């Protein structure tokens, strides 16, 4: 840990010690959580309601885990209070006197009992032990990516990357470059920088959405009561429409409902035609990738937005969340790089174009997207039911 970070958490402990000395007769609760976490919201509401069950004043010290120093402080609390290794990634984490609570043992009765039996002396003893720890536990602070979360995000990016909306645009780009007489090396460069442009644009849009949704959610509890049910309905509807699209394309040979409009398709083709003849192909391809991203986001955003909401609920608005976004966008650009390499080595995209624009291939992708939206629907529904205390 850096000297600056070390100094920060020492300052935090000093403030806590000062507050403890000036809160005689009060029950102090140290609360580590994430602003966008439903369990944290529920635990905070529980503590608010339990305040009326005790005679003393209750002081809630909140530490948001979106800040690195609070992550480190949480680990020190966990070590002193004897929180098991398997529970270190759980939140909220609540400390009352000599007692520690995680989602596995947090109940209204147990928290109330701890508040009734609260001892300021025991809390100050724990704070002194935490202050004496120094640097010896900071090595346990690392990127604790849940495997399931990472696989869901990476898988969502891959599925979105083979979405006909995104795939057909790249095939059109490569085909048009062949048409205007570009060589294989130029096509390779064009494909790579097209992918870089898309990656940069989607990462920027994702970061903006991540920050906006996380900020609004953190300052408004009413937003949480509206947003998650709306996302459950949205993802459920997309799951149903994706399955309907699969049926229409597979068995009725009809067009999909969820796709780019003819106007947006025309716009992407115009952007590609305009830039494909530029002398500096890598700059033109980079710009094309960025511009096309904003146009096709109307289609690919169907997957991106639920993924961002899932990321926020899994890790909050943190550095880890940004890592998830990078993983998603890497997954999204893998098919683009793959098509570029195939085009480079085969010098023809005709077969790929025929396959990806065929009804059968598109139908299978729609079924895959339906499965993905179903996963998101189950997650959003679970969050919604917890928000309204139905489970």
Distance of CA 359 to the CA centre of its chain: 32
Residue 139, burial from CB neighbour count under 10 angstroms (0-12, 13-18, 19+): exposed
Which of 9-23, 85-99, 334-348 has the weakest average pLDDT? 9-23
pLDDT reported for residue 144: 43
- Domain residue spans of the chain: 3-140, 147-387
Q: What is the mean pLDDT of residues 155-161?
A: 82
Within its chain, how far is the Cα of 142 from the centroid? 18
Q: What is the pLDDT of residue 232?
A: 86
Whole-number pLDDT of residue 9: 54
Per-residue pLDDT at 351: 62
Query: Per the structure block, which two tokens stand in for 380?
Result: 């959003």
Contact criterion met (CB below 8 Å) for 245 and 302? no
- Asked whether 375 and 153 are in contact (CB, 8 A), the reply is no
Average per-residue pLDDT in the chain?
77
Nearest-angstrom CA–CA distance, 388 and 386: 5
The answer, yes or no, to whether residue 248 has pLDDT greater than 70, is yes
Express each pLDDT in 44-69 by its tens digit: 999 999 999 998 899 999 988 766 67
- Provide the token pair at 104: 């596995």
At 180 the pLDDT is 55
Q: Which of 227-231, 300-304, 305-309, 328-332 has the highest mean pLDDT?
A: 328-332
Helix (H) or strand (E) holding 214: helix 184-219
Q: Under DSSP, is residue 298 helix (H, G, I), strand (E, B) or coil?
A: helix
- For the domain covering 3-140, report its CATH number: 3.40.30.10
Residues 6+ apart with CB under 8 A from 121: none
From 366, 373, 374, 377, select the one nearest 165 (Cα to Cα): 366
**87-91, 224-228, 280-284, 299-303: the lowest-pLDDT one:** 299-303
pLDDT band at 31 (very low <50, low <70, confident <90, very high): very high
Query: Dihedral of the CA atoms 76, 79, 84, 88 (nearest 10)?
Result: 10
Give the pLDDT confidence of 275-294 residue by residue, as tens digits: 656 567 778 788 878 887 87
List the single range of 23-37, 73-87, 191-205, 276-290 with lowest mean pLDDT: 276-290
Q: Residue 141 has what pLDDT? A: 46
Calpha distance 76→94 (Å, rounded): 13
Distances (CA, A) of 61 to 12, 66, 124, 284: 11, 15, 14, 53
Peptide bond connecting 92 to the previous residue in cis, omega within 30 degrees of 0: yes
Judged on CB neighbours under 10 Å (0-12, 13-18, 19+), 325 is buried
Mean pLDDT value across residues 116-129: 92
**pLDDT digit string, tens, across residues 315-374:** 665 667 788 888 889 988 988 888 888 777 875 556 655 655 566 777 887 888 788 788
- Backbone φ, ψ for residue 29 (5° rounding): -120, 125
Q: What are phi and psi of 61, to 5 degrees?
A: -95, 110
Condensed to tens digits (0 to 9), the pLDDT of residues 174-230 reads 666 665 556 778 778 888 888 899 899 989 988 888 777 666 655 556 666 777 788
**Residue 39 pLDDT grade (very low, low, confident, very high; cuts 50, 70, 90):** confident
Q: What pLDDT is stored for residue 298 in this prediction?
A: 62
Contact 294, 206 (CB under 8 A): no
Contacts 24+ apart (CB under 8 A), 102-110: 103/39, 106/43, 106/46, 108/46, 108/49, 108/50
* Cα radius of gyration (the chain): 26
C-alpha angle with apex 216: 62 to 150, nearest 5 degrees? Answer: 80
With contact defined as beta carbons under 8 Å apart, do 343 and 175 qualify?
no
Q: What is the pLDDT of residue 135?
A: 58
265 Cα distance to chain centroid: 29
Which residues make Cβ contacts (< 8 Å) with residue 31, sequence separation at least 6? 43, 44, 47, 60, 61, 62, 63, 92, 93, 94, 95
């Amino acid at each position: 840990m850096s000297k600056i970070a070390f100094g920060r958490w020492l300052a935090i402990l000093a403030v806590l010690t000062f507050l403890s000395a000036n809160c005689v007769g009060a029950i102090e609760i140290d609360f580590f959580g994430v602003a966008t976490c439903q369990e944290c919201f529920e635990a905070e509401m529980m503590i608010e309601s339990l305040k009326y069950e005790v005679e003393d004043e209750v002081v809630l010290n909140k530490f948001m885990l979106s800040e690195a120093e609070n992550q480190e402080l949480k680990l020190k609390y966990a070590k002193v209070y004897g929180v098991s290794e398997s529970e270190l990634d759980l939140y909220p984490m609540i400390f009352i006197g000599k007692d520690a609570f995680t989602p596995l043992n947090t109940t209204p009765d147990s928290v109330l009992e701890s508040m009734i039996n609260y001892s300021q002396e025991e809390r100050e003893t724990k704070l002194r032990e935490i202050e004496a720890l120094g640097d010896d536990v900071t090595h346990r602070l690392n990127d604790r990516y849940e495997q399931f979360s990472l696989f869901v995000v990476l898988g969502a990016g891959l599925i979105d990357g083979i979405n006909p909306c995104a795939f057909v645009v790249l095939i059109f780009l490569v085909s048009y470059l062949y048409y205007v007489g570009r060589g294989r090396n130029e096509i390779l460069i064009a494909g790579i920088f097209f992918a870089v442009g898309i990656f940069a644009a989607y990462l920027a849009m994702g970061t903006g959405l991540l920050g906006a949704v996380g900020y609004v959610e953190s300052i408004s509890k009413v937003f949480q009561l509206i947003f998650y049910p709306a996302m459950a309905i949205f993802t459920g509807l997309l799951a149903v429409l994706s399955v309907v699209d699969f049926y229409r394309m597979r068995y009725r040979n009809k067009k999909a409902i969820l796709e780019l409009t003819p106007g947006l398709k025309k716009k992407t083709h115009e952007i590609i035609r305009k830039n494909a003849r530029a002398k500096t192909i890598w700059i033109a391809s980079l710009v094309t990738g960025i511009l096309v991203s904003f146009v096709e986001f109307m289609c690919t955003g169907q997957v991106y937005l639920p993924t961002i909401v899932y990321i926020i609920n899994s890790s909050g608005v943190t550095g880890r969340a940004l890592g998830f976004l990078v993983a998603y966008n890497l997954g999204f650009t893998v098919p683009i790089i793959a098509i570029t390499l195939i085009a480079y080595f085969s010098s023809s995209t005709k077969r790929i174009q025929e396959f990806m624009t065929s009804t059968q291939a598109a139908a299978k992708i729609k079924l895959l997207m339906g499965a993905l939206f179903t996963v998101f629907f189950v997650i959003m529904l679970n969050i919604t039911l917890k928000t309204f205390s139905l489970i």
